[in-house]
Amino acid sequence: MKAIKISACVLLGLSAIAIAVMCVESVVTPIEFENARAEREAKVVENLVALRTAQLEFRNQNGRFTTDLDSLMLFLKTTPKKELVKMGSLTEKQLEAGMTEAKAIDLFKAAMARVEKQGLTFESDSAKYAYIWENDKAMIDAGLQGFARDTVRMNMMQSLYKGKYTEDNISDICVIPFSNGKKFEVKVNNTYTSSSGAVIPLFEICAPFDAYLGDLDEQELINLKDQEKKLEHYQGLKVGDVEAPNNYAGNWE
The DSSP-derived string for 98-114 is T--HHHHHHHHHHHHHH
Question: What are 52-90's pLDDT values in tens digits?
Answer: 999 999 999 999 999 999 999 999 999 999 889 999 999
The pTM of the full predicted model, rounded to 2 decimals, is 0.77
Among 181, 170, 200, 227, which Cα is nearest to 34's?
Answer: 227
Question: What are 4-53's pLDDT values in tens digits?
Answer: 555 555 555 555 555 554 554 554 689 999 999 999 999 999 999 999 99
Taking a C-beta distance cutoff of 8 angstroms, is the pair 149, 159 a contact?
A: no
